[in-house]
């Protein structure tokens, strides 16, 4: 079962699925702003955070694992960013009775061909010698060349944890299945179109939130978005790239609240 963090005790349920290299807690600040009127679940996706590791990356399997956390008696607003956005789309398509409304953050139902950047991140993270690592600052220095953006470096380092229960004293570990993520990167940047044969479009309301400085929600992808999700409306956030919710959190929360209410 996937690990979740729960906030709020009343109102309709909102479930967040994070993107590649993330964990549910990335959405904590946003969840706190919703928890006065919603029950919020922050999911650690497979091979991330405190959720179990798998032997291969599979979007359809990941979507079914998220679906196991949901109930048709309590349909949710499902929010997904990037990899989590693709997973959320597939939950809605495969299990529409579980999803009352859908929010997709800066990703489209298409296969992308820009895995190279992420491959560089993974190689840099795997190259860090965790046994000799003395602290987080040293890890940040090691990532600097491959990950020039301080924002992205800080985001990646949130998944570096000190393991205080290790037999050899304080050691560090990644809360990411880096070997699998690196090997299956083409699957992660892909879209399982063949696995959706015979699947009907999702008829619930969909909000698409894209960053103005990002190429992930491109006019070329609108046909695919409209095919699978005919009731969608699109919002573009100025001054934001791929990590819309962390680059423009106030705007993101305002847009999200309006859609949820």
242 among known catalytic residues: yes
Same domain, 10 and 139: no
pLDDT in tens, 69-80: 999 999 999 999
- Give the structural domain span for 121: 116-183
Same domain, 93 and 126: no
Last residue of a domain, which of 151, 167, 183? Answer: 183
82 among known catalytic residues: yes
Q: What angle do the packed helices 136-143 and 150-157 form, to 10 degrees?
A: 130
Task: Out of 100, 242, 245, 246, pick the active-site residue.
Answer: 242
pLDDT in tens, 187-198: 999 999 999 999
Predicted pLDDT of residue 115: 72
Count of domains in the chain? Answer: 2
Same domain, 107 and 121: no
179 among known catalytic residues: yes
Same domain, 126 and 218: no
Can you tell me the mean pLDDT for 212-221? 94
Last residue of a domain, which of 152, 183, 214? Answer: 183
Is 165 a residue whose pLDDT tops 80?
no
Task: Out of 35, 41, 51, 82, pick the active-site residue.
Answer: 82
Task: Out of 97, 179, 193, 254, pick the active-site residue.
Answer: 179
Predicted pLDDT of residue 24: 97
pLDDT in tens, 69-122: 999 999 999 999 999 999 999 999 999 999 999 999 999 999 998 777 899 999
Same domain, 107 and 134: no
Write a three-state SS string for the chain: CCCEEEECCCCEEEEEECCCCCCHHHHHHHHHHHCCCEEEEEECCCCECCCCCCCCCCHHHHHHHHHCCCCCCCCEEEEEECHHHHHHHHHHHHCHHHEEEEEEECCCCCCCCCCHHHHHHHHHHHHCCCCCCCCHHHHHHHHCCCCCCHHHHHHHHCCEEEECCCCCCCEEEECECHHHHHHCHHHHCCCCHHHHCCCCCCCCCEEEEEECCCCCCCHHHHHHHHHHCCCEEEEEECCCCCCHHHHCHHHHHHHHHHHHC
pTM: 0.95
Q: Grade residue 166 by pLDDT with cuts at 50, 70 and 90.
A: low
Last residue of a domain, which of 127, 154, 183? Answer: 183
Residue 246 tokens, joined: 């962390």
């Amino acid at each position: 079962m996937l690990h979740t963090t729960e906030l709020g005790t009343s109102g309709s349920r909102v479930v967040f699925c994070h993107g590649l290299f993330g964990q549910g807690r990335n959405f904590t600040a946003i969840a706190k702003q919703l928890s006065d009127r919603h029950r919020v679940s922050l999911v650690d996706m497979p091979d991330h955070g405190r959720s179990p590791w798998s032997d291969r990356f599979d979007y359809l399997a990941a979507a079914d694992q998220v679906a196991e956390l949901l109930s048709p008696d309590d349909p949710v607003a499902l929010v997904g960013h990037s990899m989590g956005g693709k997973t959320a789309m597939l939950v809605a398509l495969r299990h529409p009775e579980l999803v009352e409304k859908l929010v997709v953050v800066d990703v489209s139902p298409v296969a992308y061909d820009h895995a190279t950047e992420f491959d560089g991140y993974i190689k840099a993270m795997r190259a860090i010698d965790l046994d000799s690592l003395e602290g987080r600052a040293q890890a940040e220095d090691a990532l600097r060349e491959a990950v020039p953006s301080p924002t992205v470096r800080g985001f990646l380092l949130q998944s570096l944890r000190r393991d205080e229960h290790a037999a050899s004293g304080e050691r560090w570990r990644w809360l990411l299945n880096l070997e699998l993520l690196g090997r299956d990167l083409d699957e992660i940047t892909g879209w399982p179109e063949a696995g959706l044969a015979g699947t009907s479009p999702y008829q619930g309301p969909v909000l698409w939130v894209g960053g103005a400085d990002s190429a992930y929600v491109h006019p070329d992808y609108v046909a695919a978005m409209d095919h699978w999700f005919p009731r969608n409306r699109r919002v573009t956030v100025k001054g934001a790239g791929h990590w819309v919710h962390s680059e423009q959190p106030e705007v993101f929360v305002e847009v999200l609240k309006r859609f949820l209410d």
